[in-house]
A and B are shown apart, each in its own frame.
Chain A
Amino acid sequence: EPEVTQTPSHQVTQMGQEVILRCVPISNHLYFYWYRQILGQKVEFLVSFYNNEISEKSEIFDDQFSVERPDGSNFTLKIRSTKLEDSAMYFCASIRDTSSYEQYFGPGTRLTVT
């Protein structure tokens, strides 16, 4: 069964450094999402992406964040200058089209900012 993959599974970085989290959505999916889960808290929406542009973003998704689909398969989340409070699990998700509402989640990347 096709699945969403994410790399790396765990990333440790120092405050102020840039990080790029990578996701490979299911190949025929058209809508892509990033969510964040701070340890012990609920899963929160960051951004959605469709047709090579951001379709919606939350208040969390400020100027430090950006997303890109550089090559038609990868979907990346970049944090320009990480802060301690960016430490969280980051989940990528995708759906095929507007008739298919189940969001397929990747296994997540645990980001630790020290």
Chain B
Amino acid sequence: AQKVTQAQTEISVVEKEDVTLDCVYETRDTTYYLFWYKQPPSGELVFLIRRNSFDEQNEISGRYSWNFQKSTSSFNFTITASQVVDSAVYFCASNSGNTPLVFGKGTRLSVIA
């Protein structure tokens, strides 16, 4: 069974600051997938990224970047130059393919203007 831990419950930053959201996962599978989702105040789940266990390359997409480190079982998410629109709850999740997603408890990010 998989487990995802997001130790940061809430983070508050001032606009334009960089912020990193932590995610630690546990799994016994050799093949697994890691995800980040954004949940804005409107409630929907917005897919941000998926990584598979064989690809440890970091990824950058605009102001977003992800750092996957198998040695520490972490898949951290950094927002550079944060904006008010980034305010949301961010969930890290994991599965082993078409198996159900296991979510962390989420980190509520507040970006203050």
Residues of A at the B interface (CB closer than 8 Å) are 31, 33, 35, 41-45, 48, 50, 56, 58, 89, 91, 93, 95, 97-98, 101-105, 107-108, 110
Query: A105 is contacted by which of B45, B50, B98 (Cβ under 8 Å)?
Result: B45
Contact pick for A107, options B33, B43, B104, CB 8 Å: B43
Q: List 5 A-B contacts (CB under 8 A).
A: A42-B104, A42-B106, A48-B99, A58-B100, A101-B52
Binding site for A on B (CB under 8 A): 33, 35, 37, 43-45, 47, 50, 52, 91, 93, 95, 97-106
A59 CB → nearest B CB, Å: 12
Min C-beta distance of B11 to chain A, whole Å: 16
Q: Are B44 and A107 in contact (CB under 8 A)?
A: yes
- Whose C-beta in chain B lies nearest to the C-beta of A103? B101
Taken together as a complex, chains A and B put the C-alpha atoms of A41 and B9 apart, in Å, by: 11
Is B43 a contact of A110 with CB atoms below 8 Å? yes
Distance between Cα atoms of A98 and B31 in the complex (Å):
13
Q: Which residue of the partner chain B has the closest CB to A108?
A: B43
Say yes or no: B50 contacts A101, CB within 8 Å.
Answer: yes
By beta carbon, the residue of chain A nearest B44 is: A107
